[in-house]
């Protein structure tokens, strides 16, 4: 870690460093940080452990990069970042480390730990809101810039903890049907603003259905995207064998090749 921090300092050296690295800011680096996190998730999804090692290094470098810029501006250092997360982990795991006033407490299982973790976070949010002179909300702390599906899922989880949730999956499906009917009404009326609003409502309910079914919506959609891409590439490849392209083919022809791709996948997985 010391070597990595030193390399980052050299890259940002105003006289001898890299011109590109020197001119970067928190705002310009943030998109790279997000991209690296997704690349970590992709390597995990594919089980590519060698790539995961490299991607985790890239993600770690992002933390070092932001910390270096903060140090240059006199805010904090990488050591401060590491110390802060270490203290937070100890504070939120009294069943492992104890606390300043209590010995190690017992937590029966992972579900109990989740409850304990959320209790600690809720207390931290309450104290933060109190210091800011406002009423704490169960929705405090949900990052606005999260991917929409992930943020929707987190919102649903938070309000569910205080009892604001559908009792069962069937009721969520009923709500999804209701939202779909409302979307159809606006599509028939050709009201684009209302269509967008109802589409958002439908996506929100679909996300909550995924939550109730214990499916991560981002992962599910990412897999669906990959599946679609894989099948469409098959369509393109088969058309290329005939010296053709999708825009020189009919929908019926492409759907036949799509069905072929699905069949081959099923046979390959059998």
- 125-180 residue pLDDT tens: 888 888 888 888 999 989 888 889 999 999 999 999 999 999 999 999 999 999 99
pLDDT value of position 55: 97
pLDDT digits (tens, 9 = 90+) for 173-228: 999 999 999 999 999 999 999 999 999 999 999 999 999 999 999 889 989 999 99
pLDDT value of position 270: 42
- To the nearest 10°, report the CA torsion of 207, 211, 213, 215: 80
More confident residue, 117 or 211: 211
Is CATH 1.10.287.1080 the classification given to domain 148-215? yes
User: Taking 80 as the threshold, does the pLDDT of residue 105 lie above it?
Assistant: no
pLDDT value of position 146: 86
* Predicted confidence band of residue 95 (pLDDT cuts 50, 70, 90): confident
Q: How is the chain split into domains, by residue range?
A: 2-90, 95-131, 148-215, 219-269
For residues 261 and 234, the answer to whether their CB atoms sit within 8 Å is yes
From the list 213, 196, 203, the residue with the least C-alpha distance to 147 is 203
Residue 208 burial class via C-beta count within 10 angstroms: exposed 0-12, middle 13-18, buried 19 and up: buried
For residues 142 and 155, the answer to whether their CB atoms sit within 8 Å is yes
CB atoms within 10 A of CB 267: 8
Cα dist. 170→58, 183, 209 in Å? Answer: 43, 20, 9
For residues 12 and 34, the answer to whether their CB atoms sit within 8 Å is no
User: Taking 80 as the threshold, does the pLDDT of residue 103 lie above it?
Assistant: no
As a whole number of angstroms, the distance between CA 177 and CA 167 comes to 17
pLDDT value of position 110: 63
Residues 6+ away with beta carbon under 8 Å from 258: 231, 232, 234, 235
From the list 41, 84, 46, the residue with the least C-alpha distance to 63 is 84
pLDDT digits (tens, 9 = 90+) for 221-270: 989 999 999 999 999 999 999 999 999 999 999 999 999 999 999 988 54
CATH architecture label of 2-90: Orthogonal Bundle (1.10)
Asked if 2-90 and 148-215 have one fold, the answer is: yes
As a whole number of angstroms, the distance between CA 163 and CA 137 comes to 14
């Amino acid at each position: 870690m010391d070597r990595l921090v030193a390399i980052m300092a050299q890259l940002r050296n105003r006289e001898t460093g890299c011109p590109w690295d020197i001119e970067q800011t928190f705002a310009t680096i943030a998109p790279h940080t997000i991209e690296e996190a997704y690349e970590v998730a992709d390597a995990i999804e594919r089980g590519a452990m060698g790539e995961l090692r490299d991607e985790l290094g890239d993600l770690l470098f992002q933390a070092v990069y932001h910390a270096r810029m903060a140090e240059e501006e006199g805010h904090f250092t990488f050591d401060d970042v590491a110390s802060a997360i270490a203290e937070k982990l100890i504070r939120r795991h009294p069943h492992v480390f104890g606390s300043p006033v209590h010995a190690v407490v017992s937590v029966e299982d992972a579900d109990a730990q989740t409850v304990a973790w959320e209790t600690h976070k809720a207390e931290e949010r309450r104290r933060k809101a109190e210091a800011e002179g406002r009423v704490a909300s169960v929705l405090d702390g949900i990052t606005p810039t999260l991917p929409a599906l992930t943020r929707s899922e987190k919102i649903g989880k938070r309000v569910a903890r205080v009892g604001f949730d559908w009792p069962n999956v069937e009721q969520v499906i009923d709500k999804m049907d209701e939202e779909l009917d409302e979307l159809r009404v606006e599509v028939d009326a050709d009201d684009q603003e209302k269509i967008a609003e109802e589409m958002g409502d439908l996506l929100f309910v679909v996300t909550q259905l995924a939550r109730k079914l214990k499916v991560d919506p981002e992962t599910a959609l990412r897999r669906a995207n990959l599946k679609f891409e894989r099948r469409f590439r098959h369509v393109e490849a088969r058309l290329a064998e005939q010296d053709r392209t999708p825009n020189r083919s009919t929908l019926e022809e492409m759907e036949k090749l799509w069905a072929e791709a699905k069949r081959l996948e099923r046979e390959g997985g059998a």
